[in-house]
């Protein structure tokens, strides 16, 4: 009924509730069948009418103050307008409750024999409990495989990171060895030159000794 979603307040302070969540199968099927939730539609209608009442009240107050500004004070007008607004809301609630009951009974009531085209397959090819159990088992098997593949991928990713780290260390080691080799080669050349110089010097010393 409409009273579950409306509050009888001053028309200037309306706070219209919305439908309870789409939690039941019936609610979900209504949305699937109509393309919208019936309670949302009716709440929208109610809010629109309340908005029209508010607009009419504001327009009437402005016209009265403009025409009878010398005989009617804004405070008095607001008090009268408030009471009239309450009466209008009460009458709207009464009428809308009846309209909502009619709509729920005769318009938004889905017959029990109605099956949507996308659900027809469930009635033409119903699944037995055994079929459902087998399907659940297949789903579980696929789920387990997906989990196993994800775990294997995670382990492989860790191993790849370790390999990349080892490769980086190996590259650094090879670079260091190359530097050492270059250094040794350079020093070997220098040592060879020094040996030749010493050998030459020794020969000269020997010749000098013989001459003496």
User: Per-domain residue ranges for the chain?
Assistant: 2-124, 129-212
Question: In this predicted structure, what is the pLDDT of residue 132?
Answer: 83
Number of Cβ within 10 Å of residue 198's Cβ equals 10
Distance of alpha carbon 54 from alpha carbon 61, whole angstroms: 11
pLDDT of residue 150: 93
Task: Tell me what pLDDT residue 4 has.
Answer: 41
**Which helix H or strand E contains 117, and what residues bound it?**
none
Q: Alpha-carbon distance 99 to 97, whole Å?
A: 5
User: What is d(CA 65, CA 62) in angstroms, rounded to the nearest whole number?
Assistant: 5
**In the chain, which stretches have pLDDT less than 70?**
1-25, 118, 121-125, 127, 209-212
Q: What is the pLDDT of residues 66-113, one digit of tens each?
A: 888 778 888 888 888 888 888 999 999 999 999 999 998 888 887 777
pTM strictly above 0.85: no
């Amino acid at each position: 009924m409409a009273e579950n979603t409306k509050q009888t307040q001053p028309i200037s302070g309306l706070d219209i509730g919305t439908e309870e969540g789409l939690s039941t199968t019936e609610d979900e099927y209504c949305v699937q069948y109509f393309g919208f939730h019936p309670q949302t539609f009716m709440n929208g209608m109610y809010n629109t009418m309340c908005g029209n009442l508010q607009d009419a009240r504001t327009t009437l107050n402005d016209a009265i103050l403009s025409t009878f500004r010398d005989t009617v004070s804004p405070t008095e007008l607001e008090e009268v307008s408030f009471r009239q607004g309450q009466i209008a809301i009460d009458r709207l609630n009464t009428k809308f409750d009846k309209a909502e009951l009619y709509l729920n009974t005769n318009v938004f009531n889905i017959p029990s024999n109605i099956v949507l085209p996308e659900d027809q397959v469930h009635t033409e090819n119903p699944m037995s409990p055994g079929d459902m159990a087998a399907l659940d088992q297949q789903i579980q098997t696929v789920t387990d495989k997906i989990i196993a593949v994800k775990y294997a991928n995670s382990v492989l990713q860790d191993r790849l990171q370790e390999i990349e780290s080892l490769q980086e260390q190996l590259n650094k080691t090879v670079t260091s060895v190359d530097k050492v080799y270059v250094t040794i080669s350079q020093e070997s050349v220098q040592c060879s030159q020094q040996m030749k110089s010493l050998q030459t010097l020794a020969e000269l010393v020997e010749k000098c000794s013989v001459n003496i």
